[in-house]
Amino acid sequence: MASREARKPRILIAGGGVAGLVLALAAKRRGFEVRVFEKDLSAVRGEGQYRGPIILHGNALAVLAAIDPDVARQVLAAACVTGDRLNGLADGITGDWFIKIDLLTPARKKGLPLTRSICRMTLQDILLKAIGSDTVYNRSKVVDFREHQNKVTVILGDGREYEGDVLVGADGIWSKVRAKLFGWQDAQYSNYTCYSGSVDYVPSYISTVGYRVFVGFNQYFVACDIGCGKMQWYGFHKEPPGSADPPTGKRKRLLELYEGWCSEVVALISRTSESMILRRDLYDRDMIYTWGRGRITLVGDAAHAMQPALGQSGCMAIEDCYQLVLELEKAYVKCDCHDKHADEIALAIASFHRYERKRILRVGIVHAVTRMAARMSSTYRPYLDFGPGCLSFLTNLRIPNPAIYGAQFVVGHIIMPIVMTWMLNGHG
C-alpha cells in the first residue's frame, strides 16, 4: 500500500518550565497540536525565584534559532552576553585565576551565538507569547496518567482529565510522570546547600569578566554578570539537607562562611540586602538509560536532572526538545497506515526510541562532567595540609600542592577545551 500522510499526534506536555515551553514551541511550529499543563506560571513561582537567571550557551541558542528565528532574536536581544569575556575558575582566597575557559573561540569557529545569561521569567514570557496563551493551561498540575491502546489521558490535581496521543514529562526533578513510569525514587542530595542573590552592583572588572567560579574547600562561590547593572551570585556550602539559618540572618552567616575570601566575593555578599538572599538544597539524579514507555517519554530534568556547575542543564533540555520533535515529525509525516491504532503506537514508540538513542550518550557525558566539575570546585586545596602532629608547622608555610597544579594544567589546558568545544558543538 502506498504511504500517505498520517495525522500528526496531539502532544500533551506536563510542565511549563523552560523545557515544556520550548517543546511546545518546536512542536507547534511543525504543525503538531499541543497542550501544556503547568501548576503555576506566575512570576514568583519557585523556579524563577530560587534558581535565578539561566545560562544559554551557543548550542542551546542555535537550537532556538532552528526552532523559531524570531524567538531566538528576542532572546538574544534580552540576554546579557558573557561569552566575550573571561570565564572560568579562580582561587576563592586570593582571587587569582585557576582555569580560564575560552568560550569565544569555539563559538566563532562553529558560527554559534555567544554564551548569554537571561532572566528565567523573561525567557518564559518570550516563549509564552510565541506559543499562545490558549496552548498553556495554568494552575493545572499533572498528578497521574492512564495509557490506553489508542490514547493517553492525563489527570490533573483538581480531577480534570485531558486526552492526547502522546505524553511528555517536562515536569522537572520531582516529575510525577517519571514516578508513574518507573516508580518513585528519591533524588540524590548533592551535599550542598545553595544561597543565591541578585544585587544592583557594577564591579570594576565587569568589562573583562563574565562568569567566575571561586573555588575552595567544602564550599565555592559563583558570580555572573546578568546585565542592566546587576550581578547574580551563588554561594555553595557543604552541609546536611534541611539545615536552618541562624536568627541573625543569611547574609551574616554567609559573611562568616566566606570570611577571609577575596574582596570580589565579600563585596557581592555585603552589598546584597537580606531580602534578596534565597536558599535551597541542591539535588540531582543518577542517569537512567530508558526515558519512556509506550506513548510516554521524558525531557530535561525529568529525565536527567543535573547540578548547575557548567550551566548546561537548561541547554540539554532545549536540545532534548528539538531532537524529540524532529523524531516525531520524521515518523508521522509519512506512514503505511494499515491499522490506525497499531500504527500510531508503533510510530510513537519508534520515535521515542530514536530520540533516546540520539540523546543519552551526549547527555550522559555532560551529566558526568557536571558532577566532576562540582566536586572539583569544592575540593580545592592549593597548599599541602600536613594535619596534626610533629609536621603540623609545615601547613603554615603554605607549600604548593603539586596535585592542584598538576590538575590545573590537565584540566585547564587539555580537558576543558575539549569538553567545552564538544558541548558547544550542537545537539548532534
The DSSP symbol for 293 reads B
pLDDT average, residue stretch 230-255: 95
What confidence category does residue 420 fall into, taking pLDDT thresholds of 50, 70 and 90?
A: low
The fraction of the chain above a pLDDT of 70, given in percent, is 82
Distance (Å) of CA 205 to CA 6, 86, 231, 408: 57, 10, 12, 23
Residue 213 has pLDDT above 60, yes or no: yes
When the pLDDT of each residue in the chain is averaged and rounded to a whole number, the result is 86
Residue 24 has pLDDT above 60, yes or no: yes
What confidence category does residue 37 fall into, taking pLDDT thresholds of 50, 70 and 90?
A: very high
Residue range 143-153, pLDDT digits in tens = 999 999 889 99
| CA nearest to 177, candidates 4, 20, 40, 384 | 20
Residue range 247-258, pLDDT digits in tens = 999 999 999 999
pLDDT average, residue stretch 113-141: 94
Q: What pLDDT, on the 0 to 100 scale, is given for residue 49?
A: 53
**Cβ neighbour number for residue 390 with a 10 Å cutoff:** 7
Residue range 349-372, pLDDT digits in tens = 888 999 999 999 999 999 988 888
| 210 Cβ neighbours under 8 A, 6+ residues apart | 81, 82, 83, 84, 85, 86, 87, 115, 224, 225
| CA nearest to 292, candidates 345, 335, 240, 242 | 345
The amino acid occupying position 48 is G
Name which of 29-33, 240-244, 339-343 the model is least confident about: 339-343
Cell numbers of 85, please? 569575556
Q: List, in order of start, the domains of the chain with CATH numbers.
A: 10-382+402-425 (3.50.50.60)
pLDDT average, residue stretch 295-311: 93
**For residues 195 and 347, which has the higher predicted lDDT (pLDDT)?**
195
Residue 368's φ and ψ, nearest 5 degrees, are -65, -45
Q: What pLDDT, on the 0 to 100 scale, is given for residue 403?
A: 56
Residue 44 has pLDDT above 60, yes or no: no
Q: What pLDDT, on the 0 to 100 scale, is given for residue 113?
A: 94
HEC string for 356-423: HHHHHHHHHHHHHHHHHHHHHHCECCCECCCCCCCCHHHHHHCCECHHHHHHHHHHHHHHHHHHHHHH
HEC string for 4-54: ECCCCCEEEEECCCHHHHHHHHHHHHCCCEEEEECCCCCCCCHHHHHHCCE
Name which of 143-152, 166-175, 210-219, 408-417 the model is least confident about: 408-417
CB 102 within 8 A of CB 416: no
Dist. CA 275–CA 249, nearest whole Å = 10
